[in-house]
Amino acid sequence: MTGATARSAFTTEPSSADPHTYQTGFGNRFASEAVPNVLPQGMNAPQRVKYDLYSEQLNGSSFVAPRHQIQHFEACFSAANRNVEFVAAQQAWDPLPLLLEHDESSPGSGSGTDFVESIRTIAGQGDPTLREGIAIHVYSANTSMVKRAFCNNDGDLLILPQRGRLNIQTELGWLMVRPGELVVIQAGLRFRVVLPDGPVRGYIQEIFGAHYDLPDLGPVGSNGMALPRDFESPVASFDIEVDKSTWEIMYKLAGSLHLCQQNHTPFDVVAWHGNLVPYKYAIEKFINLANVEKDQADPTIYCVLTAKSKIPGVSLTDFLVFTPKWITTKDTFRPPYYHRNMSTEIMGLIYGRYNGSSHVLEPGGLSYEASYMPHGETYETWKDATTRELKLERVFEDTIAFMFHISVPMFITKWALRGEGGRSLHPSSPTQWDMAKAHFLDHLDEVNLDLKAAGLPSLGEEEEEVKP
Ligand SMILES: [Fe+2]
């Protein structure tokens, strides 16, 4: 295939930040050919495929042996697992340290840490063998995966780079993902991660039994939140290797890694079609909706992607984003209102400034609020928010913060709680709430006047005992 290709509404153009081309849309069935006319037409398994290619559906592989060296994933979140525990109090973590630049060409520089080796589990619920539940991980890596691919059989991964781009080679093609973008790689798909900018850091949300979906829009209609056409999927791309040296394929099954060796590249798919396709999305494209007259919208209005739980009508997790927007409401308490809710809230910051006042959150850090535990802003923030003059206001300028809004209680790993390799917690002091004042009793005279006017006894006044 030579010559210029016409610009298409259905594919994107390469740029300096991202050299790849994508097909756009969400939940579509795509078809992609790296060599024209290779996909069998009207069937999937003809007797003989063009060029004697093999026709394959996405599935597993044999020759799997256990690999015990790396055990940093947690996948069984129950009281029987001593590596995890329930925590009631709010938690906040500093960013995972960035690893030093790793020089792959220098023999003395060690082996470095690649994307998969660097993943550490923070929290989770459920179990992938039950196809139910969720896990939150972080990664901090400094070397590309060379002759090594990863395949997560436990669930779909939503990856959020926070520092450095990830150039991800999948069986279905390449995706370049930068901080500010998310990428979803489904279970069962082999991929490897190349680091074009050196050391990287970021967040991962893994779901065990469902796929990510766009939230239903209801009365919102078609012009808000994440637009389907802003999701980008790769085009077919394959490698030809003359060199027959060994490739390692790492499979994650129920949290343990299993190693398979083969003497050919796994990235040999010439053409494909279907809808089990990885995709990326630039979070800056999210179209914010909010109340414009009074009161606050529920934060689920900031939902980019959702995943269903096994309870009808209840999501397992909603991925919410906080990006620049106007606040226009009058006579409204504008900071997040004080609340207790069923969901566990795990927040992170990709870049910019976190505006919450009850704990510190740096870019790359994390915070946790347990299910049904009370939380809200500090007394100082309450005082300011209840007395300030309300004007048009920009919030989250030059910022992307996010929340994993998870409907189930989460176990936290002991690794996340006890620290190792610089993982540091900075719990907020509960004494910050000692400052909060109960103002109601300062207004006792006014309250009693109102009660008297309504024919009710004053506060503190004994009601006359009725004698029989
Ligand atoms: Fe909350």
Lowest mean pLDDT among 3-7, 228-232, 249-253, 322-326: 3-7
Q: Ligand 1 center to residue 314 CA distance, Å?
A: 17
Measured CA to CA, the distance from residue 151 to residue 292 in angstroms comes to 45
Give the start-end residues of each E strand in 26-97: 30-33, 65-66, 84-85, 91-93
Q: Ligand 1 center to residue 375 CA distance, Å?
A: 6
pLDDT, one tens digit per residue, over 224-273 is 999 999 999 999 999 998 888 899 999 999 999 999 999 999 999 999 99
Q: Ligand 1 center to residue 301 CA distance, Å?
A: 14
Q: Ligand 1 center to residue 335 CA distance, Å?
A: 11
Measured CA to CA, the distance from residue 456 to residue 192 in angstroms comes to 72
- pLDDT, mean of residues 95-106: 79
Confidence grade of residue 179 (pLDDT, cut at 50, 70, 90): very high
φ/ψ of 21, rounded to 5, equals -110, 145
Flag whether pLDDT at 4 surpasses 60: no
Q: Ligand 1 center to residue 202 CA distance, Å?
A: 22
The H or E element spanning position 191 is: strand 190-194
Q: What is the predicted pLDDT for the residue at 42? A: 82
- pLDDT, mean of residues 30-57: 88
The pTM of this model reads 0.90
- pLDDT, mean of residues 313-335: 96
Q: Ligand 1 center to residue 345 CA distance, Å?
A: 6
Flag whether pLDDT at 5 surpasses 60: no
Q: Ligand 1 center to residue 27 CA distance, Å?
A: 30
Measured CA to CA, the distance from residue 427 to residue 157 in angstroms comes to 28
Residue with more model confidence, 109 or 67 = 109
Q: Ligand 1 center to residue 380 CA distance, Å?
A: 18
Q: Ligand 1 center to residue 373 CA distance, Å?
A: 9
Give the start-end residues of each E strand in 309-450: 315-322, 325-327, 344-351, 366-369, 393-395, 400-406, 411-413
Q: Ligand 1 center to residue 341 CA distance, Å?
A: 7
Which DSSP symbol is given to 345?
E
Measured CA to CA, the distance from residue 444 to residue 438 in angstroms comes to 12
φ/ψ of 227, rounded to 5, equals -85, 135
Q: Ligand 1 center to residue 304 CA distance, Å?
A: 17
Residue 395 near residue 324, CB atoms below 8 Å: yes
Lowest mean pLDDT among 90-104, 161-175, 188-202: 90-104
DSSP assignments along 245-280, one per residue: PPEEEEEEETTEEEEEEESS-S----EEEES---EE
Confidence grade of residue 132 (pLDDT, cut at 50, 70, 90): very high
SS (H, E, C) 96-154: CCCCCCCCCCCHHHCCCCECCCCCEEEEEEEEHHHCEEEEEEEEEECECCCCEEEEECC
Flag whether pLDDT at 138 surpasses 60: yes
Tell me how crowded residue 57 is: count the other CB atoms within 10 A of its CB.
Answer: 8
Q: Ligand 1 center to residue 418 CA distance, Å?
A: 24
Q: Ligand 1 center to residue 318 CA distance, Å?
A: 13
Q: Ligand 1 center to residue 340 CA distance, Å?
A: 7
Q: Ligand 1 center to residue 206 CA distance, Å?
A: 21
Q: Ligand 1 center to residue 338 CA distance, Å?
A: 8
What's the whole-number average pLDDT of the chain?
Answer: 89
Q: Ligand 1 center to residue 383 CA distance, Å?
A: 19
Q: Ligand 1 center to residue 403 CA distance, Å?
A: 10
Q: Ligand 1 center to residue 209 CA distance, Å?
A: 25
Q: What is the predicted pLDDT for the residue at 410? A: 96
Q: Ligand 1 center to residue 100 CA distance, Å?
A: 35
What percentage of the chain carries pLDDT values higher than 70? 91
Q: Which residues surround ligand 1, an ion (CB under 5 A)?
A: 345
Measured CA to CA, the distance from residue 292 to residue 214 in angstroms comes to 24
Residue with more model confidence, 162 or 376 = 162
Flag whether pLDDT at 66 surpasses 80: no
Q: Ligand 1 center to residue 391 CA distance, Å?
A: 25
φ/ψ of 98, rounded to 5, equals -75, 140
| Residue 362 in tokens | 């740096």
Residue with more model confidence, 464 or 76 = 76
pLDDT, one tens digit per residue, over 239-250 is 998 888 899 999
Q: Ligand 1 center to residue 434 CA distance, Å?
A: 20
Residue with more model confidence, 326 or 68 = 326
Q: Ligand 1 center to residue 353 CA distance, Å?
A: 18
